[in-house]
Amino acid sequence: MPTILVTGGCGYIGSHTIVDLVKNGYDVISIDNNSRSTTRLLEGARKITGQEIINYTIDLCDFEATRKVFQQHEIHGIIHFAAFKSVDESVLMPLAYFQNNLTSQINILGCAEEFKVPWFVFSSSCSVYGNADIIPVTEETPLKKAESPYGRTKQIGEDMIMDLAKVSATRFILLRYFNPTGAHPSGIIGEVPFGRPSNLVPAITQFAAGKLPALKVYGDDYDTRDGSCIRDFVHVSDIAHAHTLAIGFLAAKTGKSACEVFNLGTGNGVTVLEAIGAFERVTGIKLGYSIAERRTGDIVAVYANNDKARKLLNWSPEFTLDDMMRTAWNWELVLSKTS
């Protein structure tokens, strides 16, 4: 079977995608320097799949070290996750985000070109839409100004690939995730935030588990139905499976363009307060949250039109919001027992 290189394979979405790829018959290798990840998740992926998965502990910003991996393996496809991803941290450390996210992407694309890798899937984000004028957003929705340096690195990353696709033999897919959450139903892998979680659901579960002293809702005065931001939460296992389908799509050569773009969201806009309510409903735990000032970099509202992914990738989200909260909480309980 084809060999797929997963960058950031020890991370949250990367580890779940490795599980899905192996389940569907692919050979997988990983690159992850573990600066924002843990080998625990790759070990969990090995346990779930029963397969040994090689990880190269190198920094993609080191071109020569990255190139050596390509010299050792015949790589048919690349799924590029590795990047810094915290919106609020990127506001405080913009240069670190530009240096890491863009340099690593240039290097991995350079290797794809040199070694003639036919398939490349890029981990993008709904943050590229900025504060869109009309929602749900489609893949043709004009991109507004990014609200954070993180979002800007994703916009630049997409532009980089679109320019390269015009002259490259490699075929590309850009997957724009909305808000991945939840954990593998086995309870063996899930999200492991480093430092204080910047995403809502791990903040909820850590607060419920007594690991965080407070749960803050950043703003209740937005122009939304309850004043809190609106997001499109999608289960991480559904996101993972989309990558396997994307590789299959590229392999089948059915795409009309050298670079295709797909939204990965459920199509349902959920407010922050509604998400908190879903957690309370599923677990029976009442969360005593507080309202805080709006957070710099946050988009007011965004959710997906996912018709293109449904039609061309044959992708359909299977997990509900309640499933997301239930699996996230089960994973938090596992972390609490083993930490």
- Report if residue 334 sits inside a domain: no
Catalytic residue list contains 303: no
How many folded domains does the chain comprise?
1
Residue partners of 155: CB distance under 8 A and separation at least 6? 128, 143, 146
Please, is 145 exposed, middle or buried when counting C-beta atoms within 10 Å of its C-beta (0-12, 13-18, 19+)?
A: exposed
- The reported pLDDT for the residue numbered 339 is 64
Largest pairwise CA distance in the chain: 55
Among 101, 158, 103, 109, CA closest to 130: 158
- The reported pLDDT for the residue numbered 312 is 97
- Report if residue 131 sits inside a domain: yes
Structural domain containing residue 44: 3-183+234-265
- The reported pLDDT for the residue numbered 198 is 81
Q: Which of 12, 150, 222, 303 is labelled catalytic?
A: 150
- Report if residue 244 sits inside a domain: yes
- Report if residue 112 sits inside a domain: yes
Task: Answer for the pair 242, 319: CB distance below 8 angstroms, yes or no.
Answer: no
- Report if residue 54 sits inside a domain: yes
- The reported pLDDT for the residue numbered 256 is 86
- The reported pLDDT for the residue numbered 275 is 98
Please, is 65 exposed, middle or buried when counting C-beta atoms within 10 Å of its C-beta (0-12, 13-18, 19+)?
A: middle
Give the Cα separation of 97 and 311 in Å (integer): 34
The residue whose two tokens read 């609020």 is 88
- Report if residue 280 sits inside a domain: no
pTM of the model: 0.96
Full 3-state SS string of the chain: CCEEEEECCCCHHHHHHHHHHHHCCCEEEEECCCCCCCHHHHHHHHHHHCCCCEEECCCCCCHHHHHHHHHHCCCCEEEECCCCCCHHHHHHCHHHHHHHHHHHHHHHHHHHHHCCCCEEEEEEEHHHHCCCCCCCECCCCCCCCCCCHHHHHHHHHHHHHHHHHCCCCCEEEEEEECEEECCCCCCCCCCCCCCCCCCHHHHHHHHHCCCCCCCEEECCCCCCCCCCCEECEEEHHHHHHHHHHHHHHHHHCCCCCCEEEEEECCCCCEEHHHHHHHHHHHHCCCCCCEEECCCCCCCCECCECCHHHHHHHCCCCCCCHHHHHHHHHHHHHHHHHHC
Q: What CATH number does the domain containing 163 carry?
A: 3.40.50.720
pLDDT tens string, the chain, 339 residues long: the values are 899 999 999 999 999 999 999 999 999 999 999 999 989 999 999 999 999 999 999 999 999 999 999 999 999 999 999 999 998 899 999 999 999 999 999 999 999 999 999 999 999 999 999 999 999 999 999 999 999 999 999 999 999 999 999 999 999 999 999 999 999 999 999 999 888 888 899 999 999 999 999 999 999 999 999 999 999 999 999 999 999 999 999 999 988 899 999 999 999 999 999 999 999 999 999 999 999 999 888 889 999 999 999 999 999 999 999 999 999 999 999 999 886
- Report if residue 299 sits inside a domain: no
- Report if residue 197 sits inside a domain: no
